[in-house]
Copies of this chain bind each other. A is one copy, B any other.
Amino acid sequence: MVENVTTRDPADLPLPPASPSTLGWSLGVLLREWSDRVEKVSRDLPHGVRGYQVLAAVVHDAPPTQASLAARLGIDRTVMTYLLDKFVQCGLLERRQDPVDRRARRIVPTDQGRRVLADLDAAVAGAEDELLSGLAPGERRVLLALLEHAASGTAPDEDRCAAVARTIGPPRHA
């Protein structure tokens, strides 16, 4: 009997040599599921999930420029152009010339944009809650923290925005 099975200790991890790619698979499944749910919720928005992500990024993170917004979301510049076109057209966002660099546009939300996003955020929060229903509240918090930490570590530019935000105001439930 070949005993390359080193299961002598319960603290031993159960999947040592096996598939390394649980990570990729898990991320894929979760993101797909997240997208599906958020899609349902954002059906009215110009571009579904992506629209939500754009709007959320603009309002919550206020990236200085269109390009940085695109980079943050991993979207091509040329794509970002027509995504924003639609939002402007719908009166949810505005393009303003950056006074200091007239090549750049500052993307700012309209009041309606803010309102719409607030509603969506609530709905999305619900969806996420449901998505993670298999995890205990503590586990969820840990997962979110680790995910964000990992993502921030690899993200192209943000990082300190998020870090600061987290330091100043951690998610407090009122």
Residues of B within 8 A of A139 (CB): 146, 149
A118 CB to nearest B CB, Å: 7
- Would you call A146 and B135 a contact (CB within 8 A)? yes
Within 8 A of B (CB), among A49-100: 49, 52-53, 56-57, 60-62, 73-74
Residues of B within 8 A of A20 (CB): 121-122, 124-125, 128
Pick from B22, B27, B170: contact of A27, CB under 8 Å: B27
14 contacting pairs across A/B (C-beta < 8 A): A15-B165, A15-B169, A18-B172, A19-B60, A20-B124, A21-B53, A24-B38, A25-B57, A26-B147, A26-B148, A26-B150, A134-B153, A139-B146, A143-B143
